[in-house]
A and B are shown apart, each in its own frame.
Chain A
Amino acid sequence: MSILHENKDSPRDSRENHVRGSGSLADHASGDRHDKELDAGILAMESEYDDADEEEPGDFEDDDDEDDFEEGDLDEGDDEEDDDYDDDGAEPANTDDDFDYGDGDDDEDDDDESRERDIVVPGQVVGKVDADTQSGYGTLANKDNDIISLYIGFTQKRGKYLNVIPFKGCYLPHVGHKVIGKIVDKNVVLYKLDINSPYMAILKPSDNDRVSRSQGGRRSRYKKKGGPRSRSTTDEFDLGDIVIAKVLKFDRTTEPSLTTVGPDLGQIKGGFLTEIEVPKIPRLIGKSGSMIKLLNKLTSCKIFVAQNGMVWIKGSDPKKERVLIKAIRKIEQEAHTFGLTDRVKEFIDEQLGN
């Protein structure tokens, strides 16, 4: 299920779309419930990559503590409202390390840049449980202590856990995730959003109101003037609008509900929307945000990577936007190879004619 409708006649990649409306970015933020303008260059997923420095370069972000295959644990970050990267110019202290993502410690392999990792298929035995090997994400240990893969992907040893990182996968919502969705239906009390997941998400203005109050917002600006008692009406968005929202609650029995109250959240206008396979998002971000910072620097586009695999980009130069989309496609296709950051840099330089 994709929130991008495909246009077969279009010469462009069918997985990208113009976002309707060309209003200024600050438009949506004029209401009092938004704390700040949506000016983030890189956001959404960066928080959990901040502390990734000690990890092996070239690896996907993963959770060392997982020993079963519960979905969604690729993004194990807590619910954080982390604004570190809101400033485009923000550079971490360890700039030198950033571009090592992809080759890193594999010194002997550096000359063979596009060397691949071994591809495993479901059911394949990828290892044996022993003193320093445990079954990690995307694997199961069977009764013979063999570790078997659950996905088509590649193996990765992280600490004592042996993980399999899949190539493809569907998005399952988790509380706290920031997602990009399209409003596909609305009635008096709620909107329904397609969030590129098996489940339709619900956005209730009354929830927004509640979240806003819990953050110290006013109950309603109309209250004393004899207007509607609250703003819990669905006038704010129209069908087809694209919004960035945060997952408020989701469990196995109810549809995910969202909120648009919070930093960076709300309707987005202008720019392009494109898609990336959910398991490859960590690769697009890079180790402590190295890849996304590189893209941001080279193309001077704003990039928002949502955890449901939707990527919103907006830049002033259409040519650079095009190149950025091509670069994202390249990252998606070559996510399992070594030395990707360098090749992406070369690719963008070449495309921009520098």
Chain B
Amino acid sequence: MPLLPESLPETIFKDDGTRLDGRKFNELRDLHIEVGVLKNADGSALVCHGKNRIIAGAYGPREVHPRHLAKSDTGILQISYRMATFSVGERKSPVPGRREKEISMVVGKAIEPVLFLEQYPNTTIDVFITVLTADGGTRCASVTAAACAIADMGIPMKDLVAGVAVGKIANRIILDVSDKEDKWEKGGATDMPVAVMVNQKQYSLLQLDGSITVEQFEEMLDLVFEGGKLVYEKQKEALRRKYSTEDVGR
């Protein structure tokens, strides 16, 4: 941790209207997805979203332990989101905190609608998500990673789920809020993480922290759907890349 905290710039938008990292209001950070990165997992994905590095491993369907969690009529989806101790500036305690439990739950709820868990009664699908480096928007990137890992596992899915955030800073609506932008506004920017099922044209996660008008909300929702499409294209490309024959010798 530097002795002096990183100073925040005076203005969050440059004179030409672009953001600090040169993005337009409707642009994502660099997004790269790699599927099948873990040999011992049934499905896996690495998501590099801006400076975020998130790795997800999916296992199953398999027997549920402890047994009392099993459901006879349906399978269950268990998500575990953890941040590595070195993922943030100051060492993070490895003990799962309130925030990690919340994100685990929220990612699970975002993925569940696309799965057919009732086909696998008495089993569990486990997804372990580890944030290696955090740079804002990890819950959205975790949704993206988990969806790719589960798709890689080969169980039926109605759609892929793309996670992307939208926010309001200095009264302007921007896509994919980064850590710096989030911290710029006192008390935190208005931030809305959304999980989009692009082909279904539905949202499976929507959280909102801050205050906005109804018009702004609708504008944000439209913008975030466009962002979801961009993420979906990357997911699609990554999954295809893994299964094309040029790449089989991994």
Contacts and interface: CB of A to CB of B under 8 A. Distances in A.
A122 B63 contact: no
A199 B122 contact: yes
Given A114-B245, A152-B243, A253 B157 contact: no
B239 A152 contact: yes
Contacts of B43: 168
Interface residues of A, number: 36
Interface residues of B, number: 40
B244 A121 contact: no
Contacts of A116: 244-245
Interface of A: 1, 6, 69, 71, 114, 116, 119, 121-125, 138, 140, 142, 148, 150-152, 166-170, 172, 198-200, 252-253, 277, 279, 333-334, 336-337
Given A119-B243, A123-B159, A334-B245, A198 B120 contact: yes
A71 B240 contact: no
Given A123-B232, A167-B243, 16 more contacts: A6-B40, A69-B116, A121-B235, A123-B197, A123-B198, A124-B236, A140-B158, A148-B159, A150-B156, A151-B156, A170-B154, A172-B120, A199-B122, A199-B123, A277-B154, A336-B245
Nearest to A138: B156
Contact of B244 (A119, A140, A168, A169): A119
B131 interface: no
Contacts of B34: none
Contacts of B158: 122-123, 140, 148, 150
28 contacts: A6-B40, A71-B119, A119-B239, A119-B243, A121-B160, A122-B114, A122-B160, A123-B158, A123-B159, A123-B160, A123-B198, A138-B156, A150-B116, A150-B156, A150-B158, A152-B152, A152-B154, A168-B43, A168-B153, A168-B154, A169-B155, A172-B120, A198-B63, A198-B123, A199-B122, A253-B121, A333-B248, A336-B245
A121 B156 contact: no
B60 interface: yes
